[in-house]
Amino acid sequence: MPYHLGIDVGTTWTAAAIGRDGRVETATLGTRRQAVPSVVCLTTERFLVGEPAARRAITDPQRVAREFKRRVGDPTPLLLGGTPVSAELCMARMAEWVVTQVAETEGESPASLALTHPANWGEYKLDLYRQALRHVGLTADHLVPEPVAAATAYTAQRPLEPGTVVAVYDLGGGTFDAAVVRAGDGPAEAQIVGRPDGIERMGGADFDHAVFQHVIASIRLDLDAAGDDPALATGLAQLREACVEAKEALSEETHVSIPVLLPQRHTEVLLTRREFEAMIGPAIDETVVALRRAVASAGVRDDEVSAVLLVGGSSRIPLVGQLVGARLGRPIAVDARPKDAICSGAARVAMAAALSLTPLAASGAAPGSPLAAHPGPPLEAPGATPDPPPPAPDRDPAARTRRLIAAALATVIVAAAIGIVALTREDGGDATSATTTTGGGAEDPTTTDGSSSTTTSGSGSGSGDILPLPGDDWSDAARVQFLVDCEAHLGNFLDVGGLDNEATCGCVYDQASSDPAWTFDSFNVTWSADDVDPGSDDFRRFMTHLYDCSGLS
């Protein structure tokens, strides 16, 4: 029977839920628990994710990435064993692995896929995520803000009257999100009202680090003077795991003992709940302030909030419920399995859209609704300004002509970029005939010494030879190198056309890698060859991708 899959790639844990025939159940991904660690490891052969990657962190930490969700949007890539990898690609690899695992268990691929994201992600981060998903061969039918997914899961357990307002307090492993959500007419029609708030670097990982630092201070260990002893590095990795377990145990116990097994240092450190709460109290206060801002932005009073939903694994800390309830004076609703609430809500969004709300999607769901159909871009981030609808082509012939001229001009700019790159290749890096473009169109054909040169405002030098992409097949390393070279050689001209360099270059590579007409070798030759034939099929194919990715088609 067809099923719908919801995936929550969190900062520290990744969970999934399956929706089928009106019911949702959590998928078992790990060997000891249903969720798996959000950890990736790039070996010399392939990506490892989840539990195998976490195990490699002890013996091969330089190849392992954690908490990469916090880095989405950062132009500086992660270095895994010396190979640059973007944070969004790590997220996409996690999602790809989950889809594969569930498909093997269920015997078929999901009928639809919903992925969650922080409510404060803008269109830039969402587009990076979409590109990374395309790179690994996935298409998300729905990108659902995490507070919306949480509210959807809550309303499935406790139906709310349309218009009822709930506040969502989402304290996960690495980020904190706060939003106000209003229930709709259906089980999956919740919508964010007001402006979501949050703290990007606040969550369980920070609390883990606080416990770790407490232990290090207790045993008087100077990490700066410890050096690069492999045995010490292994012991510290084990100690970090013990600190995580201690933090989780303090949600039930009043005190715990943390084992310390380091070279020349075998002992235990006692940690009480009171000490732990003193460490994290100021941070929890900040989250409550952010929640109050979200409520104020929604234009509702505290007494108009039906309940405060606590989701995310760190919301199980007793101090969280105590402070939130005391400061807002509203009922607290805690999911029995707060780590699963968001993925369950995402699965319900996908299931509801497929089973009973297709006419709504076809006619156009409300902006920001998780039920909107996504044949093109998925949900826009809450608070983002939606793109204006395109004008009717037949009602304003003059406007249509202007659009065609603008598209043709942009195409000429890009084509000129390819041509100049070809000249640069042929002449060893010095173009012999070009113009100086400043964005306003002024030309200065000569420099002060009489030689011809090209200078274009924007980012990208446009100089130097393009080296062949590494490897013999489509790969993450090849994509990273293509992005670097593409932005360097075409960035100036894309800037003149008002285009996003990274997004455009990434889109070209992703389209080419998924186009059966391309082989990696033919694409590599077209991109890096010294001689470029503008009349060749490969060149026209490359230009087609560039034209499409520039948003001109």
Instruction: Calculate the alpha carbon distances from 51 to 14, 61, 64, 72, 275 in Å.
Output: 11, 14, 12, 22, 31
Residue 306 pLDDT grade (very low, low, confident, very high; cuts 50, 70, 90):
very high
Residue 513 pLDDT grade (very low, low, confident, very high; cuts 50, 70, 90):
confident
Options 3.30.420.40, 3.10.690.10, 3.40.50.620, 3.90.1150.10; CATH of 4-202+285-363: 3.30.420.40
Does residue 444 carry a pLDDT above 60?
no
Q: What is the pLDDT of residues 333-359, one digit of tens each?
A: 887 677 788 999 999 999 988 875 433
Distance CA 84, CA 90 (A): 11
Q: pLDDT at position 431, please?
A: 38
> Angle at which helices 204-218 and 273-297 pack, to 10 degrees?
150
Q: What is the pLDDT of residues 142-169, one digit of tens each?
A: 999 998 898 888 888 887 888 899 999 9
Q: For residues 150 and 309, is the Cβ–Cβ distance under 8 A? A: yes
Lowest mean pLDDT among 113-117, 188-192, 524-528: 188-192
Q: pLDDT at position 310, please?
A: 92
- Of 15, 36, 4, which Cα lies nearest the Cα of 347? 4
Lowest mean pLDDT among 226-240, 385-399, 495-509: 385-399
Does residue 416 carry a pLDDT above 80?
no
Average pLDDT over residues 520-545: 78
Q: Which residue has the tokens 């101090």?
A: 319
Average pLDDT over residues 10-30: 93
Instruction: Give a three-class secondary structure readout of 214-277.
Output: HHHHHCCCCCCCCCCCHHHHHHHHHHHHHHHHHHHHCCCCCEEEEEEEECCEEEEEEEEHHHHH
Q: Which residue has the tokens 């998780």?
A: 370
Higher pLDDT, 513 or 107: 107
Q: pLDDT at position 338, please?
A: 74
| Whole-number average pLDDT of the chain | 78
Q: What is the pLDDT of residues 382-405, one digit of tens each?
A: 333 333 333 333 333 333 333 333
- Give the residue extent of every domain in the chain: 4-202+285-363, 397-549
Q: How many CB atoms lie within 10 A of CB 57?
A: 19
Q: What is the pLDDT of residues 55-99, one digit of tens each?
A: 888 788 889 999 999 899 999 999 999 899 999 999 999 999 999
Does residue 249 carry a pLDDT above 90?
yes
